[in-house]
Amino acid sequence: MKFNLIWKRLSPGVLDFCLRQDVIRRLLLKKAEERLHENFVIKNTGDRPPLIQKARAKMLGNLLHTVNAALSDGRISAGVFGAITRNFIGNILLGEEDRTRHFHEKYGIYPPAFLTISPTRKCNLFCTGCYASSSAGSAETLGYGILDRIIKEKKELWGSHFTVISGGEPLLYRDRDSGKGLFDLLEENSGVYFMMYTNGTLIDKETARRMAELGNITPAISVEGFEKETDGRRGKGVFGRIMRAMDNLKEAGVPFGVSVTATRFNVDAIMSAGFSDLYFGRKGAVYGWIFHYMPIGRSYTLDLMITPEQRLALFKNEQRMIHESNLFLVDFWNGGPYSLGCISAGRPGGYFYIDWNGNVAPCAFFPYYLSNIHDLYRAGKTLNDVLFSDYFKSIRKWQNDYGYAQPAEKVQNFIVPCIIRDHFDKALGVIRQFGAKPLDTNAEQALGDADYHKGMSEYGEKVSRLTTPYWNKEFMGTVENEKRGI
């Protein structure tokens, strides 16, 4: 009997019991690693470059081992553990195979894996260069009925049981009419697992306890490095509040991660051994996300972007942390080899973005839209109408042509996968072709800024030239050897 059929026949209680036993869990880890190697490296049904497949299997293996360690030392509570079991194993890994297969049979592609939604723009901080230009005075908020409908609809249409909540600050979300907030959404959608990007300053002991009780959320807490870098961008005293928040989560048994914005001024701190030791070692973070400062949002400037040379150095350091320190650490841009390129515009396994006004953009960092969720729902349409819009299809065609749908030998440099950051001229062409509208005044100003266009284009070209030799050596070498018969 196949392994997944056995798991499907186990009751949640039996599954929970099995996964709580160290001996059983070690056996399952070994089996899971074997399956990862078999599916990614041996079968490689998508004809991906072999070295990329090995790297992807390694990254997922790191996550499994990190979660196992968190279970072993009590960093995951009973409620959270049950939710992980139900959602990631029961729903995401095993439970929606039929739905995704039917979607593929009907539309010819697999559905997105998740959505990122910013239900409110309001935030209690005022961070330099905030992509959302959030502040305490930001009033824009998505109605709870619409928010809940989106979550349920994507589950029904795509079999998607994972949702990312961004902001603003998600913990400040409150529907004007019903008074419902984030925790109401979690409780009423217990079959969905949520990750939220948060500044962490509002996570007191009671908030952490409530998260543990609900079990279906993990916070990714924003940091900028150490105290100097974090307080410098986010405000004096924020670092200390973040440290207390992490302690509260660890005590309550809520797995959490860190989310760091890399700029040319803090990238050295991020790459230091002390960074990983603090957050993954002493504080107990389970995962990490790195976002390069993207010149959109409040007072956008190219001067904060990491330099092309820093970007290559950061990539090499990330490889060390993944392969030697065994961390689950994903860079939203440099991590293209692990995600098989850009994941925006609803690419299979990817996502798209909905903001506090209901505007639907390809990505949180691609702030130009055509559709609005309120208008779609009033017209009797669904999320699929966004997914199959010509605007999104055009971006997915570029993704496919660049490498996602190409045989191994034709895959281009996934270290520079982003259509708007690394290939800005392509993104600008799509925006102008479809008349996409800016999400805010900053995006509008950038659209008409010739110096910005020139700087973004030159940046992408330089990063591509700098990283391509490394890409060819580290990720395409096996493909070249096979072509030469070595």
Mean pLDDT within 123-144: 76
User: Tell me, what's the pLDDT at 480?
Assistant: 52
Amino acid at the residue 334: N
- Residue 436 carries which DSSP code? P
CA angle 134, 138, 144 (to 5 degrees): 105
Q: What is the pLDDT of residues 100-125, one digit of tens each?
A: 889 999 999 999 999 999 999 999 88
Query: What is the pairing mode between strands 437-438 and 329-331?
Result: unpaired
Number of other CB atoms surrounding residue 248 within 10 Å: 21
Q: What is the pLDDT of residues 434-474, one digit of tens each?
A: 999 999 999 999 999 999 999 999 999 999 999 999 999 99
Cβ 311 vs Cβ 463: under 8 Å: yes
Residue 157 has pLDDT above 70, yes or no: yes
User: CA torsion angle for 230, 234, 236, 237 (degrees, to 10)?
Assistant: -70
CA atoms within 13 A on the CB side of 424: 22
Residue 261 has pLDDT above 80, yes or no: yes
Across 114-118, 157-161, 166-170, the highest mean pLDDT is recorded for 114-118
User: Tell me, what's the pLDDT at 96?
Assistant: 60
In this prediction the pTM is 0.93
Mean pLDDT within 291-320: 92
For residue 2, what are the CA distances in angstroms to 5, 12, 26, 94, 159? 5, 19, 19, 12, 22
Quick one: tokens of 219?
Answer: 């916070």
Buried b vs exposed e over 386-403: b needs ≥16 C-beta within 10 Å? bbebebbebbbebbeebb
Report residue 434: phi and psi, to 5°. -100, 0
Q: What is the pLDDT of residues 212-248, one digit of tens each?
A: 999 999 999 999 999 999 888 889 999 999 999 999 9
3-state helix, strand, coil in the chain (%, to 5): 55, 10, 35
User: Tell me, what's the pLDDT at 12?
Assistant: 54
User: Tell me, what's the pLDDT at 216?
Assistant: 93
Is 169 strand, coil or helix?
A: coil
Mean pLDDT within 171-195: 95
How would you class 74 by CB atoms within 10 Å of its CB: exposed for 0-12, middle for 13-18, buried for 19 or more?
A: exposed
